[in-house]
Structure 1
Amino acid sequence: MDIRWGAAARRSIVATAIAALLGGLAFPAAAQQPPVRIGVLMPTKSLVGKQGQQGAVVAAEMINADGGILNGRRIELVVYDTNFQPAEGVGAAQRLLNQDKIKFIAGEISSTVALAVVQLAQANGALFMAAVPKHPDVTASGYDRVFRLNSTTAMDARDFDAVLTEKVKPTKVAVLAENSDFGRLTIANLRKLFGSKVVAAEAYDMTQNDFSTLVTKVKGSGADLVCIAGSNMEQYGNILRLMQELKLDAKRCVMPGILNSEGVRVAGAAADNAFSADIYVPSLDNPLNKRFVAAYQAKYKETPEKIEELGFESIWLLAQAMQKAGTADDPAKVAKVLHDNKWDTPRGVVAFDKNGQAESGALINLVVKDGKLVPAP
């Protein structure tokens, strides 16, 4: 009798153990769903690229803290450096598409890099969410899976041209612009706006670090307004410093969407009274912005600005659209959902036009006072 009881007990114990093991495995199986992988392209060795990447990281962490998307799948970012160079950007995008098998790409700062990536995305049926590039052609290809979050130079002009012509009222204008699609377009737009009042237009390379000759030329032009168009804050910060050192007595405009606190830090006191405009300030009063700013400050001990916010948006909106579309594998479905809906972001409600361009309201005029970038009076 004892032997039979022992056998039964052993069978019961084994059955219980198996049931417990299977039951225990059921829950981790859900947690072990494959992550949703999103490619991120940024010039990560630069300050501006680092800011964009950090914004993207905060978005992924917030989404994962909320339980992920599509029944618990986590967001995983695969980040590659583009170094502001089209060839490196194309190489990075090819790795994402061919090596990593990723069909959703976000980020980038440079318009020239973005224009090259658009072609690759279209050839591979991928979705590209361009965060910062400003050249209008980024969303002019007709490909319905390309989106842009930042305002374009033309959109900026709707508000900022009036500031230049009606408030600043320069008699002579000089332009210092990076040698990129964005920089060249800025020069062309200012020539159209001011005509013969543009007395100097100088381009600099994206890797250049000596600006003494260019600033000397601008000083010799007699310009009473100098406009800088460059996405690399180390460069425009050093240009502002050099203008002060050479006692170039002119009003200083950093074209919309570029100036931020890191650029002001690089320039130091030379940035005071420089003015610009942008689509975002961290003091905007809405729940998602407050949460984003708090999460960014907690992680990086800094207050985020426009570049960080657009990096955040590029991941946040892709994830929200994937959730609404019910897929992280079909770029066409996700693109349609992005086009067909309005989206809450830290800067407010965003909607995309038929070309994939985001619209979110008028620019906020900004000025540097005592080393801080603040809304202009």
Structure 2
Amino acid sequence: MNRRHTLLLLGAAALFAVAQPAASYAQTSGPASGEPIRVGEVNSYTGLPAFTIPYRQGWQLAVEEVNAAGGLLGGRKLEVVSRDDAGKPDDAVRVAQELISNEKVALLAGTYFSHVGLAVADFAARNKVPFVAAEPLTDAITWTKGNRYTFRLRPSTYMQAAMLVEEAAKLPAKRWATVAPNYEYGQSAVSWFKQLLREKRPDVEFVAEQWPVQGKLEAGPTVQALAAAKPDAIFNVTFGADLAKFVREGEGRGLFRNRPVVSLLTGEPEYLEPMKDEAPEGWIVTGYPWEQIDTPEHKAFRDAYQARFKEPPRQGSVVGYATFKAIAAAVAKAGSTDPEKVVDALSGLQVTSPFGPVTFRALDHQATMGAYVGKTTVKDGHGTMKDWRYADGANYLPSDEAVAKLRAE
């Protein structure tokens, strides 16, 4: 892919989509008995359109399916009022307040970046409003800064690091280097990877760390510094445009030659497919091989998504869809939009996602959604995954005692 051109096109689409101060989406066909149930959705549409546009399409599909099936609470339609947070915590809190005060939403959902998700989670706790965090991976959102009103769908940095460490520990590598964006998500991912790998392999050492500013990676100096440390293997946490620059520069300078790379999120099609035939070969990654998963749940979702949007799903598509299916299930279980009843319903809620059954644990409100772990490869001119397996999130969580201690800190 010409990455720059594609990202510009995606960015233009996102800007067009959120040009209005508040975008409202609802499926209006069929009778409704009562006012719509409104959900306030906040996300970084202009900040990371490669993920958030498929994410939005995912939740649109979920809303359409819920409403086509008769809606909720005796025929009330599910309606979404969506706002852009520009990737900034202050903006996210401001629009969340506006959604609660002016748009009268019953609960909040969304966010992408970890620091933004944490800001909205704090707002939710202070205002006693349910918040289903769709994408932010920070462990703090359900552990050290967890609260009664916040729930998180995706597997956290701890969970995905644990999945990757299983594979990393099998490598003969002893000297490791890391590269990650210098904010909460990257810092947490590196910290957990180092801790968990050392527990399995006390003989490893970490000889270099690179901390580029998110979205502003200087590929040349970063690759040069990593190469100078002469590591046996590399743990990468960069994503999006930074990942593409890192891969291109690293390949050009031979950084990855005979050197294993373990990489968080790189197998997700949002980041892998745009690199086309420049995608890395043989990296150990978490991701989403959408075209290869043939479970009944996933096939039904994939077919419906492709029929609706005339394109294949992305990781964001699954996240958006599962988030709003869970919200609908919680409201139905609660039998009400009362915030306290919805929170009680979300706690321990079991739903079926495109990845299979998912439970929002009562202990910490972390969902058990998993991820696919495998290796990158190039097939038919584009990046994909091979030798993959589904890692059930329930198998990659710390003990109840450890979580209780984290939440008490």
The alignment's TM-score, normalised by the length of structure 1, stands at 0.83
- CA separation in 1, counterparts of 2:167 and 2:327? 35
Other-structure match for 1:150:
154
Counterpart pick for 2:164 among 156, 160, 164: 160
* Aligned equivalent of 2:127, options 112, 124, 130: 124
Q: Give yes or no for contact 1:174–1:225 (8 Å, CA) kept in 2.
A: yes
1:279, distance to aligned residue in structure 2 (A): 7.8
Whichever residue aligns with residue 154 of structure 2, its letter is N
Q: Deviations over 1:154-177 (max 9, x none)?
A: 2224332120011x2323222111
Q: Which letter maps to 1:143?
A: N
- Matched with 1:43 is 44
CA-to-partner distance for each residue in 1:195-233, whole Å, 9 max, x for gaps? 862222111222315432212211222223222213x42
The DSSP-based 3-state class of the residue aligned with 2:365 is coil
C-alpha distance in 2, partners of 1:347/1:208? 33
Alignment correspondent of 1:23: none
| Distance verdict in 2 for CA 1:265–1:278, change over 3 Å | closer
| Residue 247 of structure 2: aligned partner | 240
Shift of 1:89: 2.1
**Larger Rg: 1 or 2?**
1
Q: Deviations over 1:23-69 (max 9, x none)?
A: xxxxx994373222111222112212223222212211222222222
**In structure 2, do the counterparts of structure 1 residues 92 and 375 end up closer, same or farther at CA, with 3 Å as the change threshold?**
farther
Distance 1:222 1:270, change over 3 A: farther
Which one has the bigger helix percentage? 1
Aligned to 2:58: 55
Structural mapping, 1:29-178, within 5 Å: 30-31=31-32, 33-45=34-46, 46=48, 47-140=50-143, 141-166=145-170, 168-178=171-181
Residue 373 of structure 1 corresponds to which residue in structure 2?
Answer: 384
Q: Does 2:322 correspond to 1:313? A: yes
1:34 alignment partner AA? E
Question: SS state of the match for residue 359, structure 1?
Answer: coil
Give 3-state SS (helix, strand or coil) of 2:189's partner: helix
Q: Tell me the distance in 1 between the aligned counterparts of 2:268 and 2:162.
A: 21
Quick check: 1:131–1:310 contact (8 Å CA) kept in 2? yes
Equivalent position of 1:295 in the other structure: 304
Deviates more, 1:112-121 or 1:236-245: 236-245
Q: Give secondary structure in 1 for the equivalent of 2:75.
A: coil
Distance 1:280 1:98 in 2: 41
Deviation at 1:149, TM superposition (A): 0.8
CA distance in 2, matches of 1:288, 1:350: 12
Aligned pairs (5 A) from 1:190-339: 190-192=193-195, 193-194=197-198, 197-208=205-216, 210-230=218-238, 232-248=239-255, 249=257, 250-255=259-264, 257-268=265-276, 269-278=278-287, 281=290, 283-327=292-336, 329-339=337-347
Offset, 1:375: 4.0
Structure 1 residues 86 and 322: alpha-carbon distance in aligned structure 2, compared to 1, 3 A threshold = same
Tell me how far apart the structure 2 counterparts of residues 212 and 89 of structure 1 sit (CA, whole Å): 34
- Residue 105 of structure 1 contacts residue 129 of structure 1 at CA under 8 Å; is this kept in 2? yes
Residue range with higher mean Cα deviation, 131-140 or 352-361: 352-361
RMSD: 2.5
SS at match of 2:169: helix
> Which residue in the other structure is 2:12 paired with?
none
Provide the C-alpha distance between the structure 2 equivalents of 1:375 and 1:34, rounded to a whole number of angstroms.
48
> Is the Cα contact below 8 Å between 1:173 and 1:227 reproduced in 2?
yes
The alpha-carbon deviation at position 118 of structure 1 amounts to 0.7
User: In 1, Cα distance between the equivalents of 2:156 and 2:32?
Assistant: 41
Distance change in 2, residues 1:289/1:162 (3 Å) = closer
Deviation track 1:137-189 (CA, whole Å, cap 9, x = no partner) reads: 101245222111111222224332120011x2323222111122110112222
1:345 aligned to 2:353? yes
Letter in 1 for 2:323: S
1:96 and 1:351 map into 2 onto residues whose CA distance is: 27
- Distance verdict in 2 for CA 1:365–1:207, change over 3 Å: closer
Gapped regions of structure 2 (runs ≥ 5): 1-28, 389-409
Kindly tell me: are residues 321 and 279 of structure 1, through their superposed partners in 2, closer, same or farther at Cα, counting changes over 3 Å?
A: farther
1:191 Cα deviation (Å)? 3.4
Q: CA–CA distance in 2 between the matches of 1:280 and 1:126?
A: 35
Letter in 1 for 2:344: K
Alignment partner of 1:254: what SS? strand
How far residue 321 of structure 1 moved from its aligned partner, in angstroms, is: 1.4
Corresponding letter in the other structure for 1:83: A
Question: Secondary structure, in 3 states, of the residue corresponding to 2:211?
Answer: strand
Describe the SS at the equivalent of 1:178: coil
8 A contact 1:279–1:347 mirrored in 2: no
Residue 285 of structure 1 and its aligned partner are, at CA, apart by 4.2
Q: 1:338 and 1:286 mapped to 2: Cα distance?
A: 26
